[in-house]
Amino acid sequence: MTLIKSISGIRGTIGGKTKENLTPVDAVKFASAYGTWLKTKTKQKPKVVVGRDARISGEMIQSLVMQSLVGLGIEVIDLGLSTTPTVEVAVTNEKANGGIILTASHNPKEWNALKLLNKKGEFLNAEDGNIILELAENEDFEFAQVDDLGKILKNNTYIDFHIEQVLAHPLVNKQAVKKANLKVVFDGVNSTGGISIPPLLKALGVEVVELYCKPTGHFPHNPEPLEKHLGELAKLVLDEKADLGVTVDPDVDRLAFMDENGKMFGEEYTLVSVADYVLSKEKGNTVSNLSSTRALRDVTEKHGGQYFASAVGEVNVVAKMKEVNAVIGGEGNGGIIDPKLHYGRDSLIGLALFLSLLAEKQIKVSALKATYPSYFMAKEKIQLTPEIDVDQLLLQMKDNYKNEEVNTIDGVKIDFEKKWVHLRKSNTEPIIRIYTEAPSQEEANQLASKVINEIEILVKR
């Protein structure tokens, strides 16, 4: 079993021993550390928004987290079942000092996590995250006296509010979507996508066939929205003669599409297609992380914009988007960040913009995909012994390819004319992750094999 601490929060498996898993003790400790940090940021009584996905342990962990904050004298806005982007939207609308989302994203049901937000409804930066980790390690908390305890205020209106914000977005073409008479099959993986995406679709005038939309937390399949997990969705798209299939992860910040033939559109192309639509309406720049498809760069340049790459991680994408004033950005795992709404990955706005594109073009999903540059990825890793200096290995690989376009903001990314490879070391184990992309799957696989072979030669020296 596992407990992983990072600057954006903690995640782990439920049950087992403290400090090794996400136990009630660990939940209390990290919530208390976060609350203690928040109290240093304001002279007033802090306010924190808390929401959770539908996983089985969510109610238990949320109760522990909220009561810990109450014990620190903090006011809690309890959203109950919610989505990650909805909590982010609520933080700014409530003028809260921060937020906590209880979700382990695409991890299986035995996992949960505390994801921590600042007053902007954005994930914490490294500096603030490290302060909280240190507070948790030292258990340096001072709880409130009885007359100064916080309180919990329930608010179950924010999913509706979030949907209203999406519908009011200037680029969401409600009339075109309604006129298109689209039929969508949606797989909500029995989490909070089931209580947020169908209402949005219905508000857009889309016919919805619901699959696994009851928020029981009993995931009917692996909740990561990948093709190998979505056989039932594919079958239902064909059976229902639907225009497309849609799915999200349990906390609704990753969005994936399936075409009318039950074939995956490709998570990488979720951002590509939405960016294509946004850039057709508004000129500007785009951002994705280094491990995302080159197709975004191609589409951005087609519209006269400039593409920028960030280090991997949502907080890094957001920072780069602000720096270059990007009009759209995100990650290749299906995460859409539209700054007009908020700086966070949001499947609701991503879906509404994608449907607007589809409706305006009056085109099938498979035909839309065919309009984009075709790239294929390989994702590998190479196991190393702990005594090997991974940083030195990456420097050697950088030197080996010094005549190519090399980016070192997060590991080493080498751009060739029609393909690329990205090498990153793991923060938790002695491995190098190797991502490649090329115009064919065979070329992507070959590039990955070539690089793995070169690393193995360097290791043996």
Active site residues: 105
Cα gap 180→364, rounded to integer Å: 11
Task: Mention every residue, 6+ apart, whose C-beta is less than 8 A from residue 269.
Answer: 257, 293, 295, 369, 372
Q: Which tokens in the block code for residue 117?
A: 């937000």
As a whole number of Å, the end-to-end CA separation of the chain is 36
Q: What is the secondary structure of 300-336 as a DSSP string?
A: HHHTT--EEEE-SSHHHHHHHHHHHTEEEEEETTTEE
Cα gap 10→177, rounded to integer Å: 40
Cα gap 240→242, rounded to integer Å: 5
Cα gap 11→290, rounded to integer Å: 24
Closest CA to 276 of 245, 297, 246: 297
CB 104 within 8 A of CB 111: yes
Burial annotation 273-310 (CB, 10 A radius, 16+ → b, else e): bbbbbbbebeebbbbbbbbbbbbbbebbeebebebbbb
CB 326 within 8 A of CB 275: no
H or E segment and range at residue 25 = helix 24-39
CB 339 within 8 A of CB 327: yes
Give whole-number Cα distances, 384 to 4, 184, 275, 458, in Å. Answer: 21, 45, 38, 12
